[in-house]
């Protein structure tokens, strides 16, 4: 079944090529498509395009289909082109001509726009929640290890004293900035395109504000041409925000792989979190972090893939946009899986509290010794020279202590401030408003 069929069968090879992976990928969108149809027909009834007594019949059936979709029992049958066609086919099969009324004032163009936005809203919410939990774990580990010193590096050369408190806390704060970018992407996503039809509006007296409110959108894409132009743009913006998050996680994963090597021996994972070698019985490999790194690097390539598909398209709809779904829809689960497994691994990681007892790290305290001389009144450049001479002569003997107290330093991690930043950002997502709207729609 195809919503656009006019009695002339399509060549099988052409059909297979043009449908592509839509049947498989549209299963991601099934719950969203059904919710959108519910809001749309409530609006159609309000403007007289569906009779008052017909609405409860359609709503009842759509609620049944929504339950099936959420539970994973919704199927797009062979011969049915996409999720939109399947929903209308099932309604028509059971309700006859009444099922055919749901498409009034819509096009598959604004249907898929709506489906993608509803799906993306939910997917961002899941990633935000996972990121928030990961930040909490990093903050906890930072507080636990705030007094455990480790070397800091520049150019991969021993530089200055750091601490595990700083290291864990750095990634916690980095992720709070990633949430800010996700918030911006979320706000752009959370605008209703429904009613733009094929991209040029409709002669029906549609009430777009009603569907905006019913689906919990913050506002709508007002211009119908721009609503259609948003296809691909929203996915690119969101994928950049996800890629930014993936970049943070990839950097963390690289650190862990480095720190777990015997040459560093800064951290370790429980044996059950590592893998072994088929010929080297001593091996305990950090495969989990290597795969986080690789998957997150792959996620960082998605914005570029979407850009290459969309960047030379004029305004209006083109079938090229179908290809965006193939890289975009599965990316959220992959990102979420990486966040969840990283949270589990970091929670169970052990840190080495005796790293700086090794004399090869003595020079990490050189700046501390320079600063001590400065505090005694010696000009900085003279103090720098004196300590430099001690190092060259092999006479440098540091006191392996640090006394940093300014905001964000070893002795003042400002973990409460980082958590405040996170909570403020989370509040701005206003997830509860959407949850209430969808609950009322389903109720």
Q: What is the residue extent of each domain of the chain? A: 12-104, 116-191+223-357+413-442
Q: Write down the number of H helices and E strands in the chain.
A: 17, 6
The pLDDT value given to residue 14? 67
The pLDDT value given to residue 4? 45
Angle of helix 108-144 relative to helix 331-347, nearest 10 degrees, comes to 10
The pLDDT value given to residue 5? 58
Answer yes or no: CATH 1.10.275.10 is held by domain 12-104.
Answer: yes
CA separation for the pair 81, 62 (Å, rounded)? 19
CA separation for the pair 164, 142 (Å, rounded)? 6
φ/ψ bin of 201: left (φ > 0), alpha (ψ from -120 to 50), beta (otherwise): left
Q: Which class does domain 116-191+223-357+413-442 fall in?
A: mainly alpha
9 Cβ partners below 8 Å, 6+ apart? none
The pLDDT value given to residue 19? 67
Beta carbons of 91 and 61 less than 8 angstroms apart: yes
309 Cβ partners below 8 Å, 6+ apart? 232, 320, 321, 323, 324
Report pLDDT digits (tens) over 25-47. Answer: 889 999 999 999 999 999 999 99
Beta carbons of 260 and 345 less than 8 angstroms apart: no
The whole-angstrom distance between residue 228's C-alpha and the CA centroid of its chain comes to 24
CA distances from 26 to 112, 119, 228 (A): 9, 11, 19
CA separation for the pair 128, 321 (Å, rounded)? 26
Closest CA to 49 of 105, 94, 97: 105
Dihedral of CA 296/299/303/304: which sign? positive
CA separation for the pair 61, 59 (Å, rounded)? 5
The pLDDT value given to residue 2? 53
Q: Which residues are catalytic?
A: 155, 277
Q: What angle do CA 253, 257, 262 make, to 5 degrees?
A: 160
The pLDDT value given to residue 18? 67
Report pLDDT digits (tens) over 394-420. Answer: 999 998 889 899 999 999 999 999 999
Backbone φ, ψ for residue 351 (5° rounding): -105, 150
pLDDT tens, the chain, 443 aa long: 555 455 667 767 766 676 667 778 889 999 999 999 999 999 999 999 999 999 999 999 999 999 999 999 999 988 788 899 999 999 999 999 999 999 999 998 999 999 999 999 999 999 999 999 999 999 999 999 999 999 999 999 999 999 999 999 999 999 999 999 999 999 999 999 999 999 999 999 999 999 999 999 999 999 999 999 999 999 999 999 999 999 999 999 999 999 999 999 999 999 999 988 889 889 899 999 999 999 999 999 999 999 999 998 888 888 888 889 999 999 999 999 999 999 999 999 999 999 999 999 999 999 999 999 999 999 999 999 999 999 999 999 998 889 899 999 999 999 999 999 999 999 999 999 999 999 999 98
Beta carbons of 108 and 2 less than 8 angstroms apart: no
Burial state string for 405-438 with b = 16 or more CB within 10 A and e = fewer than 16: eeeeebeebebeebbebbeebbeebebeebeebb
List beta partners, residue 161. 151
Beta carbons of 196 and 221 less than 8 angstroms apart: yes
CA separation for the pair 49, 34 (Å, rounded)? 19
The DSSP element (H or E) to which 423 belongs, if any, is helix 415-429
Give first-to-last CA distance, the chain, whole Å.
Answer: 31
Q: What angle do CA 234, 239, 240 make, to 5 degrees?
A: 100
Beta carbons of 83 and 29 less than 8 angstroms apart: yes
Closest CA to 266 of 159, 167, 137, 367: 167
């Amino acid at each position: 079944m195809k919503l656009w069929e006019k009695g002339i069968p399509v060549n099988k090879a052409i059909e297979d090529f043009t449908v592509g992976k839509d049947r498989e990928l549209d299963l991601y969108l099934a719950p969203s498509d059904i919710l959108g149809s519910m809001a749309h027909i409530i609006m159609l009834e309000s403007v007289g395009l569906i009779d008052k007594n017909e609405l409860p019949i359609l709503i009842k059936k759509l609620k049944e289909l929504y339950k099936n979709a959420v539970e994973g029992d919704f199927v797009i049958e062979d011969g049915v082109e996409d999720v939109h066609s399947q929903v209308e086919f099932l309604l028509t099969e059971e309700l006859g001509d009444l099922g055919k009324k749901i498409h009034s004032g819509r096009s598959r163009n604004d249907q898929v726009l709506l489906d993608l936005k509803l799906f993306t809203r939910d997917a961002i919410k899941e990633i935000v929640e996972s990121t928030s939990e990961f930040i909490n774990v990093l903050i906890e580990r930072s507080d636990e290890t705030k007094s455990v010193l480790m070397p800091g590096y520049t150019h991969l050369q021993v530089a200055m004293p750091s601490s595990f408190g700083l290291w864990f806390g750095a990634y916690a704060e980095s992720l709070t900035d990633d949430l800010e970018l996700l918030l911006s992407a979320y706000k752009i996503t959370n605008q209703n395109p429904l009613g733009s039809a094929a991209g040029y509006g409709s002669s029906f007296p549609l009430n777009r504000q009603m569907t905006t409110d019913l689906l919990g959108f913050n506002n709508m894409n007002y211009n119908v041409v721009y609503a259609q132009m948003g296809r691909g743009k929203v996915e690119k913006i969101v994928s950049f925000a996800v890629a930014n998050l993936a970049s943070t996680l990839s950097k963390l994963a690289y650190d862990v792989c480095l720190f777990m090597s015997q040459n560093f021996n800064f951290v370790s994972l429980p044996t059950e979190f590592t893998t072994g070698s088929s010929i080297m019985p001593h091996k305990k490999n950090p495969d989990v972090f290597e795969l986080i790194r690789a998957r997150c690097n792959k996620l960082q390539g998605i914005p570029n893939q979407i850009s290459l598909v969309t960047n030379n398209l004029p305004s209006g709809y083109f079938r090229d946009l179908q290809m965006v779904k193939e890289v975009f829809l599965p990316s959220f689960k992959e990102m979420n899986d990486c966040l969840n497994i990283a949270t589990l691994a970091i929670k169970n990681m052990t840190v080495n509290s005796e790293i700086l007892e090794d004399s090869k790290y003595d020079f990490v305290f050189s700046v501390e010794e320079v600063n001590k001389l400065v505090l005694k009144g010696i000009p900085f450049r003279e103090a720098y020279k004196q300590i430099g001479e001690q190092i060259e002569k092999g006479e440098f003997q540091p006191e392996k202590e640090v006394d940093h107290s300014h905001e964000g330093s070893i002795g003042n991690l400002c973990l409460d401030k980082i958590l405040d930043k996170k909570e403020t950002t989370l509040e701005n997502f206003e997830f509860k408003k959407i949850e209430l709207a969808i609950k009322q729609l389903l109720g």
